[in-house]
Structure 1
Amino acid sequence: MGLKALIAAAAVALTLGAGATANAQALEKKELKIAVGGKPLLYYLPLTLAERLGYFKEAGLNVEISDFGGGAKSLQALVGGSADVVTGAYDHTIQMQAKGQSIVGVTQLGRFPGIVLASVKKAGTIASIKDLKGKKIGVTAPGSSTNFMVNYLLAKEGMKPEDVSIIGVGGGPSAVAAIKRGDIDAISNLDPVISQAEADGDIAVIADTRTEKGTLDVYGGPYPAAVLYTTAAFIQANPKTTQALSDIFVKTMLWLNKASTEDVLKVLPEEYFLGNKTLYAQAFEHSKPTYSPDGRFTKEGAEAALKVLKAFDPAVAAAAIDLSKTYTNQYVEDSLKRLAK
């Protein structure tokens, strides 16, 4: 490289560095509270990666992450004002619009739900959805995406949510313990809980949305899973901070899609492995196809989610939902352009 080229490259680097500093200084809100419903679940892996790879600090953000028992509780934190943003199920943006509240997805983290419905072998033979009638089903938390999948599968069989008993069991060791104790007859949960229970021989899978085929079997099309969402009011008041968050999660998704299993495990805290790092690695490999390649939302995915919610949620079925107001690709597109430079 000649002297002129070296000088030009140095100038570009200085400009980019100055731009990053200026962006951090220009953020409307540098102290952020993020809510999540089961942080160690692979469903929310991008949040932990963004945190531990240092991307929040790099962007000039100081984040406080509050972990709740399930997505419904993290949504409550946002609505109640104790959280600024949430990593949670896209479904909540539609449900809240039906209640007259504007919640917007900013970045898509999961393109397949990754949720598995399985029978607990201690409960005896449960071979089909119809066999669940009168049974106790463990979910991360009532009103969360794990609960929604159960509701939809029941609706497809002409059944109602009231035909089963829904019990919140969390998304970690508490869920595994509920299976072991026989407290529940079936479980709707995510990895690493499901892979742990499978390895122990405690469950039999009924429906599995960790793959594209499994997602199509359950939902009939693509289905958005975890997203970064916040209120329309937050976005309007904090556009630069919203852009910074999109940059962080898009950068994380691009890193994740290139990373090896070993790369991912090196970043994570030991407690995520539930005492079995090898099994966690297998669970991650099961779940890797569920992650979004670039953070973009699709119209088809949003339409699939609306169809599912209408099947069992009377409020959504009765509402005139404008899907274009439940997500935006504006920030993701800007992130992808910047990261491509």
Structure 2
Amino acid sequence: MINQQRGTDMRSLVQKVAVAVISTSLLGASATGAMAKDLKKVTYAIATADLNVGYPFATLPKALGYFEDEGLDVSIVPGQSSAATAQILLTGRADVGVAQPDPVMIQRANSRIPLVSFYAVSRRGTNVLITRVDSPIQTIKDLKGKKAGVGDLGSGSITYLKSRLLQEGMSDKDVQLVTTGYGTPGFEALKNGVVDFAVSFTGGVARMTVAGYNVRKLPRTEDELNQYSYNLFATEDYIKNNPDIIKGLGRATAKATIFLKNNPEAAVRAFWKYAPDRAPKDLNDPKAMERDLAILTAQIQDMGADELPDDFAWGSQETAVYDKIQKYLIDAGQIKTPADPNIFFNNSFASDYIDFDHKAIVDAAKAAK
């Protein structure tokens, strides 16, 4: 553990490494953005009402200065849910946003909204159904007639629940949806029996566990382990008119991913510095580190960063994965007519996202305390 002064030293070290890397042109295209006189303003929405440590793909590049290195002045704002984030983007209240792909794909296929994914953040399914450890619920079939806790009705988890029920010959009419909110209210609703089970996500389950709530996950299918669960979206026009911003956002996100996977504890401390209101009073509190590290570990797994190499093509997207997601949305009755899966994403900048010295980022991460 470190004290506040050493936390400052860590930030200083990362900045010095970044400056050295830029000065020797090791970061390639990002140097132009870093040396720019004026930073380009970007509003970045995240599909949550609670900007906690579990969103390192946004908060970590901000905390470590990676957005600034790319010439970007990024403002991170809560988007409440995936559906709400989509509306924020469509109405121009944010430029880019992270959301679950399901709700956006449904609207894209059915109504041809102009939103597309330009960066795959989480490469594994994150949704999960949970119950109390003493619950008689063991399988999806046991959910019939039960009360389902959901964060809000605009969450992508609703689509996930509908799909899982359909796979067992049921529909959402076979359960009663109860809006519980996120975080502690949702945890308490499950604990106290207000709901019989809940639709959550891996990071949320990690938060529950370290907070002392005992829950059990229902079995997941193999297909869920190889599909995108959080992506960066923007309108087609924004991407077309701002290619340098898209490239910079992707590079900063990729750098943060590499830093995160090589030193998650330093990533926790970077978040505490970025959001002091979410930091413990005692920065050396081992329980606080255990709590936030558990959440980040779950996110690392969702991003696939626990297994993929440092030089992986972070942010890249595959047609086959979108085809698979679309098929499950069709099966769930959410998409009426199949669309070309290529309309859901833009992979044009994948090579730009990894146009930097990976070793420099790895070294900075390993040197951070």
Q: TM-score, normalised on structure 1? A: 0.81
Partner of 1:5: none
Query: Does the CA contact (< 8 Å) of 1:108 and 1:292 recur in 2?
Result: no
Q: Secondary structure at the match of 1:337?
A: coil
Higher helix share: 1
Q: Secondary structure at the match of 1:81?
A: coil
String of CA shifts for 1:253-295, please: whole Å, max 9, x gaps.
2222322x32222122366589743233234334422214422
Q: Which moved more, 1:12-21 or 1:44-53?
A: 12-21
Contiguous gaps of at least 5 residues in structure 2: 1-19, 281-286, 306-313, 360-369
String of CA shifts for 1:101-159, please: whole Å, max 9, x gaps.
1211111111112222112358x422221221222212232242222221111010011
Partner of 2:101: 90
Using the alignment, how far apart are the partners of 1:285 and 1:101 within structure 2?
34
Query: Does the CA contact (< 8 Å) of 2:130 and 2:216 recur in 1?
Result: yes
Equivalent of 2:162, from 146, 151, 159?
Answer: 151
Using the alignment, how far apart are the partners of 2:26 and 2:88 within structure 1?
36
Q: Which moved more, 1:112-121 or 1:26-35?
A: 26-35
Partner of 1:210: none
Partner of 2:302: 290
Matched, 1:252 2:256: yes
Query: Does the CA contact (< 8 Å) of 2:127 and 2:157 recur in 1?
Result: yes
Partner of 1:133: 144
Matched, 1:327 2:345: yes
Using the alignment, how far apart are the partners of 2:358 and 2:293 within structure 1?
30
Q: Secondary structure at the match of 1:330?
A: coil
Equivalent of 1:60, from 53, 59, 71?
Answer: 71
Matched, 1:32 2:52: no
Distance change (3 Å), C-alpha of 1:240 and 1:298: same
Equivalent of 2:267, from 260, 264, 269?
Answer: 264
Q: AA paired with 2:321?
A: G
Query: Does the CA contact (< 8 Å) of 2:54 and 2:203 recur in 1?
Result: no
Using the alignment, how far apart are the partners of 1:132 and 1:165 within structure 2?
10
Using the alignment, how far apart are the partners of 2:80 and 2:27 within structure 1?
40
Using the alignment, how far apart are the partners of 1:22 and 1:287 within structure 2?
31
Equivalent of 1:279, from 261, 270, 291?
Answer: 291
Distance change (3 Å), C-alpha of 1:177 and 1:57: farther
CA RMSD of aligned residues (A): 3.2
Distance change (3 Å), C-alpha of 1:100 and 1:256: same
Q: AA paired with 1:312?
A: A
Using the alignment, how far apart are the partners of 1:71 and 1:106 within structure 2?
16
State how many pairs are aligned: 320
Partner of 2:354: 336
Shift of 1:90: 2.1
Query: Does the CA contact (< 8 Å) of 1:28 and 1:240 recur in 2?
Result: no
Q: AA paired with 2:271?
A: L
Shift of 1:54: 1.8
